[in-house]
Amino acid sequence: MIHAPKIHAMQYELRPAPHSADAGEIGGAIATSFVRADDADAALAIALAYYRDSDWEVVAQEQPPQPVERAACEDDPEWLDAYDEAAREGECHLFDLWSAAVDEGDDTGH
């Protein structure tokens, strides 16, 4: 039986790595990632590698990787586009950023 990879969705709270050019300006982000993978562990590994390679550090897991169907994204055009991109390209990551000024004195970043 041939097993086709599924699209997995996940959300993480991130902050710029200390060596990042954005470290002083961006306080953090919520990243929503759509990744085509055989299972949740593989999807997570792909997303974490992307975050690391893009100079982000994980602060907290908001939503663990789980398979998602395209129909579940149809009410949100941005998520639908991200799903379709992940289906074509293998992954898509959406970032909701906040500034470092918002982060002052707030350990959660928002």
Q: Is residue 78 part of a domain?
A: yes
State the chain's mean pLDDT as an integer: 91
Per-residue pLDDT tens digits for 19-70: 998 888 999 999 999 999 999 999 999 999 999 999 999 999 999 999 999 9
The answer to whether position 1 is within a domain reads no
Residue 108 lies in a domain: no
pLDDT tens digits, 2-15: 567 899 999 999 99
Residue 21 lies in a domain: yes
- Measured CA to CA, the distance from residue 36 to residue 28 in angstroms comes to 25
* Domain span at 38: 6-103
Q: What is the dihedral of CA 77, 85, 60, 38, to 10 degrees?
A: 130
Residue 87: exposure state from Cβ atoms within 10 A (0-12, 13-18, ≥19): middle
3-state secondary structure of 21: coil
Looking at residue 62, its pLDDT comes to 97
- Domains identified in the chain, total number: 1
Residue 41 is assigned to a structural domain of this protein: yes
Residue 65 lies in a domain: yes
46 falls within a domain: yes
- Measuring CA to CA, how many Å separate 65 from each of 3, 9, 62, 71? 18, 5, 10, 17
In a domain, 59, yes or no: yes
